[in-house]
Amino acid sequence: MNKRTLLKSTLALAIAAATGSVLAQDKPIKVGATAGPHSQILEQVKKVAERDGLKIQIVEFTDYIQPNAALSTGDLDANSYQHKPFLDQQVKDRGYRITSVGYTVNFPIGIYSKKVRSLKDLKEGARFGIPNDPTNGGRVLLVLQDQGLIKLKPGAGLKATPLDVVENPKKLKFVELEAAQLPRSLDDLDVSAVNTNYAIPAGLHPGKDAIAQENAKSPYVNLIAVREQDKDKPWVAKLVKAYQSEEVRRFVQAEFKGAVIPGF
Task: Work out the burial of residue 124: count CB atoms within 10 Å of its CB; fewer than 13 is exposed, 13-18 middle, 19 or more buried.
Answer: exposed
Predicted pLDDT at 219: 83
- Give the C-alpha distances (Å, rounded to integers) separating 183 from 140, 178, 189, 210: 15, 10, 10, 12
Asked whether residue 5 carries a pLDDT value surpassing 80, the answer given is: no
Asked whether residue 254 carries a pLDDT value surpassing 90, the answer given is: yes
25 falls in which pLDDT band (50, 70, 90)? low
235 falls in which pLDDT band (50, 70, 90)? very high
pTM of the model: 0.76
Predicted pLDDT at 243: 98
Asked whether residue 24 carries a pLDDT value surpassing 50, the answer given is: no
Which range is least confidently modeled, 14-28, 65-79, 171-185, 193-207?
Answer: 14-28
- What is the torsional sign of CA 72, 241, 89, 198? negative
22 falls in which pLDDT band (50, 70, 90)? very low
Segment 63-75 shows an average pLDDT of 97
Segment 223-249 shows an average pLDDT of 98
Predicted pLDDT at 13: 47
Q: Give pLDDT tens digits for 88-120.
A: 999 999 999 999 999 999 988 999 999 999 999
Using DSSP's 3-state secondary structure scheme, residue 148 falls into: coil
Q: Which domains does the chain have, with CATH numbers?
A: 3-107+220-262 (3.40.190.10), 110-213 (3.40.190.10)
